Amino acid sequence: MDTINAIILGIIQGLTEFLPVSSSGHLEIFKVILGENKLANESLLMTVILHFATACSTIVIFRNEIKKIITDLISFKKNESFWFSLKIVISMVPAAFVGFFLEKEVESLFTGNLLIVGGMLIITGLLLLLADKAKPTEKNINLKSAIIIGVSQAIAIIPGISRSGATISTAVLLGIDKENSAKFSFLMVVPLIFGKVFKDLLSIDKLEYGESLLPLIIGFIFAFFTGIIACKWMIKLVKNSQLKYFSFYCFIVGIIAMTFSL
């Protein structure tokens, strides 16, 4: 993988991890366009590095909230941070279950099948359109809604279904405050990403990456800083009910991807 492709994939990951347009779907599309499917292990390693970069972006944005959660958990204070952490743990269960028990089935979806990606992008667009029309509320997340949002996250493992789009839309449709929906959506995925990164690194064949080290570093840097910008932007967009623009984008890209696959 050359440097230019690493920059492109880094920017795509940084933007699409937080913006509701499916990072996995876009990475699949651009891997087909760039011909990266021919580099199986290297392509997998780049994907792992890019996801790790955006997880780091989330930590930077929500560093104060994460610090407070960890401090309260260590001190065993059963306060708001404790219950918020418990809801995050509960929301992780469906995706963790799918990732652990259905790993091969999930991996079979990441084969550059643009027909699946396109169809799922259209579904993402419909979810965003519905969520954008939802009336604003001040309802908080409870244990039941955390489980439902977690199921949405598990379904979003399918390339083309936006994880942030699915989880935020589900939360908003459940009547959760839009800003809290975005915050919960971004925080709930961090432990899963770090767990998957560690697991994927162990599964990658031992290869010589001397020539590939620079693209990996560059990809990480671009994904990290682009992710910080996109995360801040996304929170404002959700709060101001501007998801419909992304729904139109998903419709367009989804149709193009499906057409390209025929």
Confidence (pLDDT) at 255: 94
Q: Which two tokens stand for residue 152?
A: 């949405």
> Three-class SS of residue 106?
helix
The CA distances from residue 255 to 109, 169, 212, 247, 259, in Å, are: 18, 21, 34, 12, 6
Count of domains for the chain: 1
The pLDDT score that the predictor gives to residue 121 is 93
Indicate left, alpha or beta for 176 from its phi (over 0: left) and psi (-120 to 50: alpha): beta
Q: What is the pLDDT of residues 124-162, one digit of tens each?
A: 999 999 988 887 677 888 889 999 999 999 998 888 898
Q: Which domain holds residue 143?
A: 3-261
3-state secondary structure of 134: coil
pLDDT tens, position by position, 183-220: 888 888 888 788 777 777 776 655 444 456 888 899 99
The predicted model scores a pTM of: 0.81
- At residue 39, the pLDDT reads 45
